[in-house]
């Protein structure tokens, strides 16, 4: 079982619609959780970083939520645009004396006109 599981694997939505991507994790001790956006052929770009005490964080049309008790996070995209088509990667950082990063497999989002 993956330590950081993302769902769905892929998603197709129409331009202007909203969508929510899920990330569930099992690893600990938790330090922080990050969402990255990766356009095709480019490196990942950080969208949000959330620590244990943060429940919600927004970055423009992107809103991330975190429930550290249930070990779940979501990324909500409002009023999607064609440029939102990308892979969205959830990353959990744990602190075991040193920091260790565990990557989810990503959700591939396609926004259609």
Partner 1 sequence: DAGVIQSPRHEVTEMGQEVTLRCKPISGHNSLFWYRQTMMRGLELLIYFNNNVPIDDSGMPEDRFSAKMPNASFSTLKIQPSEPRDSAVYFCASSLDRKFYEQYFGPGTRLTVT
Site for partner 1 in 58-87 (CB under 8 A): none
d(CA 22, CA 55): 15
**Using rule CB under 8 A, residue 34 touches partner 1:** yes
Our CB check for partner 1 shows the closer of 29 and 98 to be 98
Bridge partners of 89, per DSSP, are: 36
Which residue of 10, 18, 81, 101 would you call a contact of partner 1, by CB under 8 A? 101
Which residue of 29, 53, 69, 98 would you call a contact of partner 1, by CB under 8 A? 98
Question: b/e per residue, 5-39, with b = 16+ CB within 10 A?
Answer: ebeeeebebeeeeebebebbbeeeebbbbbbbbee
Stretch of 17-25, 45-53, 64-72, 74-82 contacting partner 1, by CB under 8 A: 45-53
**Using rule CB under 8 A, residue 105 touches partner 1:** yes
- Considering Cα of 90, then 94, then 98, then 103, what sign does the dihedral take? negative
Joined together, the tokens standing for residue 45 give 């770009």
What is the nearest approach in angstroms of partner 1 to the Cβ of residue 111?
21
d(CA 36, CA 87): 8
Q: Which residues bind partner 1 (CB under 8 A)?
A: 31-32, 34, 41-46, 49, 89, 93, 98-101, 103-106
């Amino acid at each position: 079982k993956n330590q950081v599981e993302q769902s769905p694997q892929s998603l197709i939505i129409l331009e202007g619609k909203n969508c929510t991507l899920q990330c569930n994790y099992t690893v600990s001790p938790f330090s922080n959780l990050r969402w990255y956006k990766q356009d095709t052929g480019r490196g990942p770009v950080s969208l949000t970083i959330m620590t244990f005490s943060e429940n919600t964080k927004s970055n423009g049309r992107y809103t991330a939520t975190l429930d550290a008790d249930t070990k779940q996070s979501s990324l909500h995209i409002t009023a999607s645009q064609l440029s939102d088509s990308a892979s969205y990667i959830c990353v959990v950082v744990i602190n075991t004396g040193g920091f260790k990063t565990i990557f989810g497999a990503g959700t591939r989002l396609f926004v259609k006109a």
